[in-house]
């Protein structure tokens, strides 16, 4: 049985657009990419002393379990040269599972829905483009509602 996973992708090192396109292509090994948002220029949050990111959201139909999908995503990051040197620091690629169907997972290595997604404009703006009426399984609000509730700030511009 397959599930729809919603992913957030970001890059702020090297050719960011090429990095995102390669990651989206490589997701094909994990399932079928159903849709991908536009790319968005986004200012860094938390660790702000770094270059701007290019972000997008992807809907992936997959037969993998959530933990298996996470292992595959980490493998794509490794293959693309991601090094985890500084928490929230610059990276060639970052791939997060935002939602996995209506699943709620709370494991030491994996939390779904992504715990910070409802506070991040750089996540919600691209996700709202491809799945505005998608329901958050814990907050019981649509992605569009979550986006509209965000306070001003966090610059996000469609590329």
Active site residues: 82, 91, 94, 96
Q: Are 98 and 8 in contact (CB under 8 A)?
A: yes
Residue 98 token pair: 């935002």
Instruction: State the Cα–Cα distance between residues 36 and 152, nearest whole angstrom.
Output: 25
Q: Residue 128: what are its φ and ψ, rounded to 5°?
A: -65, -25
Q: Which helix (H) or strand (E) holds 61?
A: strand 53-62
């Amino acid at each position: 049985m397959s599930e729809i996973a919603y992913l957030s992708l970001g890059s702020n090192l090297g050719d960011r657009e090429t990095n995102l396109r390669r990651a989206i292509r490589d997701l094909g090994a994990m399932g079928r990419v159903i849709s991908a948002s536009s790319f968005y220029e986004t200012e860094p949050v938390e660790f702000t002393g770094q270059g701007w990111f290019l972000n997008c959201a992807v809907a992936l139909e997959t037969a993998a379990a959530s933990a298996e999908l996470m292992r595959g995503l980490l493998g794509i990051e490794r293959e693309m040269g991601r090094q985890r040197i500084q928490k929230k620091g610059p990276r060639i690629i970052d791939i997060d599972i935002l939602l996995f169907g209506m699943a709620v997972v709370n494991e030491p290595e994996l939390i779904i829905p992504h715990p910070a997604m409802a506070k991040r404009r750089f996540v919600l703006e691209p996700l709202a483009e491809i799945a505005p009426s998608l329901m958050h399984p814990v907050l019981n609000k649509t992605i569009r509602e979550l986006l509209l509730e965000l306070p001003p700030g966090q610059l996000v511009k469609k590329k």
